[in-house]
Structure formats: structure tokens, C-alpha cells
Amino acid sequence: MSNSGSVPDRNALTATLRDYVEQLREEGLEGLPAGVRVAREAPHIETPPTPRAEAPAPISSSPEPRPAPAAAEMFSKYPGLEKTSTLEELRAFIGDCQRCKLAPLRKNLVFGVGNPNAELMFIGEGPGADEDLKGEPFVGRAGQLLTDIIERGMALTRSDVYICNVIKCRPPENRNPEADEVAACEPFMLRQIEIVKPKVIVGLGTFAVQAVLKVKTPISKLRGRWHEVRGIRMMPTFHPAYLLRNPGDKRLVWADVQEVMKVLGIPIPRRSGA
């Protein structure tokens, strides 16, 4: 029996496992779950090599439009949500939210912070321990790095931009949000986008970007390319928590940030690094 298909299959498996490792590493996790091992390099064959998943994606100047959920579909989950026209009204609508299983575990609901008319909006995955305690997104070590990107790199202030997360309550032990939790909070995040109406969204990290774009593509392949969300340009990039563990990739985030600055008309300093 011919084995002609075995090597390409191993190549595909290797690429898939590398993508999975990249997602784990980005969110600050080391290694793989017990019993999972990454396959070693496949033997050389006379075909073009499989691209490495961790290779940075080239910058693309044109957006990649993606269909957004219809407004009626989004609002049907929570009747009355469509009537909220300000962030204050939206926060009041959410109230003491008990719509998913995270509610009993939280200390504070983390809604969002910043300029309600911001041209630039950052969307992360969900609150961590520091955010849960304070009730504000991105206030821990990762938050300080995001502040440095905004203030030192972009010459803006946190009050100039708007910052929120896909989900508003902290998952236990900072685990990844589960599908039902994302589904429960997604209409509120989308309504935040519609109310703020930013010119550009920066998606921070694998899970935030996948939730917003409705894809399963790893962040290593999404970053550096413009996408579109509800008619707004979105630039995916690595999460600040990932950069704390992989400082060498700050240069990739800085490249993404510079593309955002060009769209917003912000002068780019000559120094290299955010």
C-alpha cells in the first residue's frame, strides 16, 4: 500500500499543533495539557515547506470585510438593548448581571473605561484578578504595559481611548471564557462598539479577536492585517500579558500599532519600540 499521503498529513498535524501552542503561549500558559506532545519536524520532501505558524503576518493595507450579525439578531437576545444610546444607559441596562454562570464568582462587573467618543477602542478578552478587584479593565501588569503602548508609544492618554473586554466578569483562575459566557456578554460588547463608534479597534489577544471576528484562526496569523467589524477597521495584535512573557515580540505589536497610528493620523516617532 502506498504511503504517499502520510508525510503531508504529518505536516498538517504539526502546523495545527504549533498553532495551538501559540494560542496557549499568548495567554501566558506554559507547555501543553498532559498527554499532548508536539510532533517533531517531518522528514524533508520535495514540496514547498509548511509555513511556520509563529512567523509574523505581513502588514496588509486593505481591510478584510466580514459580515457582522444583524442588529435585530443581536438585540433579540435582550429586548430593550437597542434603546440604549449612551454608555451610561448601557451600563444601567446590564445592571447587576446574572445572565451567565460567572456572576456568582465575580467581585465586580468590569464594564469599560475611557472616552465615550474615542476614535480608538481596545478590546481584550476578560478581566483578571486586579480588574475584578477594581472594576476597571487593564489595571494589572498587563494593563500597565497597555498604558505604556498608549501613552509612550502613541502619545495619547488612557482617557483619550476606550478600553473594554469581550466578557465583563472574571472567569475563575483566569481560565479562558467558555462559549456560553461569550454568547451572554457579546451583545453588550457589540453595543459598546456601536455607541462609541471608534474609527479603529485594536483587538488584544487570541480569544478576544476570535470572539469579535467569529474565526478560529490563531492570532499569529491574524495580527498585522486589517479586518472589519460592523463597518469599523480592526487591527488584531498580541495581548499585553503575552508580551510580558515574550518581550521579544513587542516589535511586532509596535508594527501593528504604527499601522493604527497611520490611519488615525498620529505622527510616528523615530525611535523604535513602544
Per-residue pLDDT reduced to its tens digit, 176-208: 899 999 999 999 999 999 999 999 999 999 999
Check pLDDT > 70 for residue 25: no
- Range 60-264: architecture per CATH: 3-Layer(aba) Sandwich (3.40)
| Burial degree of 196 (CB within 10 A; 0-12, 13-18, 19+) | buried
Say whether 200 sits in a helix, a strand or coil: strand
Q: With cut-offs at 50, 70 and 90, classify the pLDDT of residue 273.
A: very low
- The C-alpha cell at 259 is 499601522
Domain ranges of the chain: 1-55, 60-264
Average pLDDT score over residue span 45-52: 43
